[in-house]
Structures are given as structure tokens and as C-alpha cells.
Structure 1
Amino acid sequence: MNLDNIRIVLVNTSHPGNIGGVARAMKNMGLSRLYLVEPKQFPDEQASWRAASAADVLDNAVVTASLDEAVADCQFVVGTSARGRRIPWPLQDPRRCAERMASQSASEQVAVLFGREDRGLTNDELKICNLHLNIPTSADYSSLNLAMAVQVVCYELRMLLDVDRLSAAEDAEWDTPFATRENMERYYQHLESTLVDIEFLDPAAPRQLMARLRRLYSRVRLDEMELNILRGILTETQKWVRKARSGE
């Protein structure tokens, strides 16, 4: 994926503060190419104020007189759409759409269109798009602020860009070796004997207690340090049981 080949295009934005909010959302996620089609007010102090540390995105924004001009050199165009159309059009959620945009951006110019705050993109504007993108929302309140919508799309692109780095961090070397199967079996035996000692487990009617506890611990990988801590707790518990019984 090449983020430099992906542009965010805002069509007839009415409030300059929204333009600044979009610039900030883009900068957060590493996108820098902003196109403005006939904005009602721009440049404007409200846009600069809302952009915060993303002034460079605003300064380099390209203002065009028409949508055709904004996407003339693009090979792949995505239009955000909040409502169904009479004629079915390829429609995807932001995650799936980001994957498609990422693939196309490797060698093509990609544009993501966002319409007016009050009514989005027109049918004619959506007709020039290769794909329509819809952000799922609650039926109780489906309205999204323009900057929020841009943030969602840019976030999904960012996640794709960082997937290798995030995977590497997830698989990074642990600070302590993970417990061996042999040591886990010793722990289960220790746990079972302790549960019997405190009379939580009845050996005559064990039911599925140990099987369920095994399943619980299998959902996480214990390292040797964690296992030693748990075994230490069991050992101390057994000591207190013996003391209590000796005092009976």
C-alpha cells in the first residue's frame, strides 16, 4: 500500500471547522493528500483551529472547481454512501474497502469521496465511483460527523499499513519462557490436591471441575514465572490447611 497515492476528497463542505477536523484525522493516520471541491469557506480560521497540528495538510490542500477535476487522474474512486440505491452498486464496509484501496494504491491513484454534511454525495457523483463504502452505525442514531467518517476510513487504512509491525510486536520474544507441558501437568496435579485439601473438590464426585479448569488455563499461555507464582500460592494454601487441621 502507498498512502501517498490515496487522496481524501471533500465535496462542497459547508463548515470550515469540518475541513480542519478532517485534516487532523488524516494526519493522525498518516494520510496527507486533501482535495476540496468547491468548499463554502476556505481558507478559514476555524479550519486552521480545528486542524491543530495538521496545518501542513491544510496548507497543501488542493481546491478544485469540480469533482471531475479532483479525480481526473485517479484510476480507482470510492464514494461514501449512507443510503441504498435503486440500482445496486458494489458496496463494502470500511475494513473490506480499505483492503481493496490498499491493493489499488500500490500502483494507482485512489480517491475517497465524502459528500456534503447534510446530504452526502448525489446520485450522479456516486455513479463515477468504482465502489461504494458504507460505515455501519446504530439504527438509533446513524448520523456521523464528517471528520468521524474520514477517521474511520483512514484508521482502517492505517491498520493495514501497520499489520506487519503489530504482528511482530504480538509475536515478540516473551521475557520468560512459556511453561512446558510437563510443568503444566505438575501444576494440575498440585491444583487438584489443593482443591481436595480445602474440600472444594470431592474426589468421589469430581464432576467436570478439573476438565473445566484445564480448559480455563489452556485459553492462556502461562510462562514459567507465572506458573511458579501459582504453585507458590497453592503451597501456602496447603500449609494453612495443615495448620488449621493440627489445631482441631
Structure 2
Amino acid sequence: MNKPALSLVLITHNAASQLAQTLESARALADDIVVLDSGSEDDTVALAERYGARVTHQPFLGFGPQKRLAVSLARHDWVLCLDADERLTPELAQSIAAALAAPDKAAYRFARRNRFFGRYLKHGEAYPDWCLRLFDRRRANWSEDMVHETVRVVDGATGTLAGDLLHDSAEELGHYLQKQNRYTDIQADKLYAAGKRVGALKLIGSPLVRFIRYYVFRLGFLDGAAGFAHIAIGSFFAFVKYAKLIERWRQGGPTPR
């Protein structure tokens, strides 16, 4: 079997501070680089073009639709989708190259290691954070979800590759909290539009179960203060999501589009 050509696909917005590391980690694998930018005001576009990327501009459609559009712009059917604050470890790059030498799956997943409070977490919700990012777009693609989008395989099996994807988010805690608050708005709107209702049991139980699962059974406590903060914030926003959903039903407004 001939090795299939690979397109590296990214969506960007004001990502100049980290994009170079991302592209450097994967450029040797890619025969084509696609960047779909949603109005960057920094040097993102110029930097991407220096790396030979084909840059297209599109106002943000939501994460799932934006990534689906970016994948459609690729020249090749095999795509590797990365965020601008992620980079491949050498081990993962080697695993991807080996898989593409003779692909026997429709898609491949690998572990993502997340940085929080200035350190890479090794347990809990943060690792292994399995990500399916390498796939044949004829048999898999991104979901239409506005947030927390995932790749769905419609034909074929999924393989697992060795090596880590490093998530180097450099955002401050305040920005991280603002982002999580926006995400819960989107999630609550989606649940409300679908007619979902929750009561006190879900409101209280969901964040409690989440915390116990990741902090105790997934050994999040071994990551110290950073692990506690990461899981506690995630559990709190699980509560916020359902609280917002209850609020929407009590307000009784029209369901969002």
C-alpha cells in the first residue's frame, strides 16, 4: 500500500504566540497545511504563511462546524487536526508516521497531556485525555457540536498510537474560568433546546460524582494543588451547566436556535 498524503489542519484565532511550536512539531509529517482563521489581529496569518500554510478566513461558526469546514479545505483525505496550542512529542510523531506507512484503521487516537497551573498533569481528568485527531475524512469527521466537539467514525475501526499530544495552554486562570462559563452557556442552551430537564439530584449529584471519580479513582490527588484545582473547577462547572438549564426552564423563554 502506498503511503497516503497527509494534510495538517488547524483553526486559529490570535494564536501567534504558540502556533510556531505546533507547526514545527508536525510539519515533517504533512504534505499540506491548512489554516482556517477567524479574524486574528496578531501575526497568526503571517506566521502560518511562512510555514507554507494555505490560509482561509472564516468568521467563527462554533468549534465543530469550524473544524468541519477546515477539514473540507484539505487537499488530502488523511488529515491530522491540531489546536494551535498543542504539539506532538517526538514519540507521537514517529507513531503517526508509522501508522501512515500502512494505515489499517479509519482513525487513530492518542493521549493528550494537559498543562494547568504551570505543570503537566499526570492523573485525573487531565491524563490520559484521549483525542482522536488522525483520520480518513471519507470515513470520519468532526461532530457539529458548538463546543466539546468530537471526531465520529462512521466506517471502520479506531486505533491507538503511542506518544503524547502536549496541550500547552498558556491562558491565565481568569480567562480559563471565563471560557468555561461560556461553554456552560452553550451546553445549557443545547440541553434546553432538546427539551432536557434536570432536578436537584442531578444538580447536586453530577458534580459530586465527577469529583470523586477523577480525584479519588483516577488518582487526581497525586497531582497536588494543580490536580485539585483542575478537578474542582470542572466539577463546579458541571453544577453551573445544570443550574443554568434549570434557570432557562424557569424563565420559560423560547428555545435557542
**Is TM more than 0.5 here?**
no
Normalized per residue, the structure richer in strand is 2
Work out which of the two has the higher radius of gyration on C-alpha atoms and give 1 or 2.
Answer: 1
Normalized per residue, the structure richer in helix is 1
TM-score under structure 1 length normalisation: 0.31
